[in-house]
Amino acid sequence: MVVVLIGFMGAGKTTVGRLLAARLGLPFVDSDTVIEQRSGRAIKDIFATDGEPYFRELEHQTVTELVCGPDAVISLGGGAVTDERTRTVLRGARVVYLHVGYREAMARVRRDELRPLLKRSDLDELYRQRIPVYQDVSVVAVDTDGRRPDSVVEEIVERLTALPG
């Protein structure tokens, strides 16, 4: 089984993803980590040197490969779903949207200097634009605000089990 976690920065995709993978007995893979390992560069440096469109291309190729690959829990960078081709790849997959409120997301990530998007002055607008996209692409949506990761994991397992097919 391939389970894909999507959501804005700070939604807890990595933390919840690791726990969920352990719970399901699957490997955990983070698309940003794969991109960094393969390119030998930090995401922040790719953004700074080659720009966001170049990063999105690498991200699309990586996500496609992972989603079509062996069973795993896969966490995607928050902007992966902005690429239409990536959205197409995700159709039909078990995509779980981890929802986080904007204030809580910022409280969780604001001191992280490795996230290039935190420099954007229109980040709140970007957040608003992405919410319907996350909702549209996912088959399960789970609220994470004020919740412990293990409680989020239990809800995901229950909801995935209840899915048809």
Q: Which residues bind ligand S3P (CB under 6 A)?
A: 9, 13, 32, 43, 77-79, 115-117
Q: Which is nearer to ligand S3P, 32 or 94 (CB)?
A: 32
Distance in angstroms (rounded) separating the CA atoms of residues 123 and 117? 7
To the nearest whole angstrom, how small is the minimum distance from the Cβ of residue 69 to ligand S3P?
19
CB of 27 to ligand S3P, least distance (A): 18
Nearer to ligand S3P, 78 or 144 (CB): 78
Least distance between ligand S3P and beta carbon 164 (Å): 29
Which residues, at least 6 apart from 117, have a Cβ–Cβ distance to it below 8 Å?
Answer: 9, 78, 79, 123, 126
**Judged by CB, which is closer to ligand S3P: 23, or 130?**
130
Q: Where are the alpha helices (DSSP H) in the chain?
A: 13-24, 31-39, 43-50, 52-67, 84-90, 102-109, 123-137, 149-161
